Amino acid sequence: MKPTVMKALEEWKGAYDQLQERAVAALRLALPGLDYTATPTYCCAATLTIDKPGDLGTGKVCVDDDTRATVELDDVPNTVIAEAVDAVFGIDWFDGADGLLEDSGPGTYNYDDETTSAEYEVVLGKNDIGRVYIGYAPVPYAVELLDAMSTARERQVAAAGPGR
């Protein structure tokens, strides 16, 4: 390989590694409790897990080689999901939701972003605990929703008062 080509490739690799590191840092700041875990063979470039059932959820966040995020969280309070989705997307954005998501009741709500090819699915469970799935979203979009979930939880805990 020509020295100039090798140098250009090394510079690209350095920029790529830095982009991955910054993506992971942003995701971890957006959703407290996310931490590195072993990445399975033939999986994403980085895998993070969380285990905060009934608070911010249990599950994983992966960042793939194209720096897209996939989020799979279970055990998330419906109120956190609804408040975060309504704050980020606005009203009536997800299929099946007429008005505020928190007023829509238990069910599965979807949105497919044709511009980015990202897929969003939120499940508001019958027992007030739901699920969030985001597939192949640009990292900034995933960070925005995860941060909104964290903010919603903080606001709800503060509103409930001490000892609740």
**The predicted structure's pLDDT at residue 80:** 96
How much is the average pLDDT of 27-41? Answer: 86
Query: For the chain, what are the domain ranges?
Result: 3-160
CA distance 136 to 117: 7
The string of pLDDT tens digits covering residues 61-120 is 999 988 899 999 999 999 999 999 999 998 878 888 888 888 888 999 999 999 999 999
Give percent helix, percent strand, percent coil of the chain, each to the nearest 5: 40, 30, 30
pLDDT at 151: 97
Is the pLDDT score of 164 beyond 70? no
- Name the strand (E) or helix (H) holding 20: helix 3-30
Planar angle of CA 149, 154, 155, nearest 5 degrees: 95
Q: What is the pLDDT of residue 163?
A: 65
Q: Which amino acid is at 83?
A: E
Strand partners, 74: 58
Q: What is the pTM of this model?
A: 0.90
The pLDDT confidence band at residue 42, using thresholds 50, 70 and 90, is low
Residue 2, pLDDT > 70, answer yes
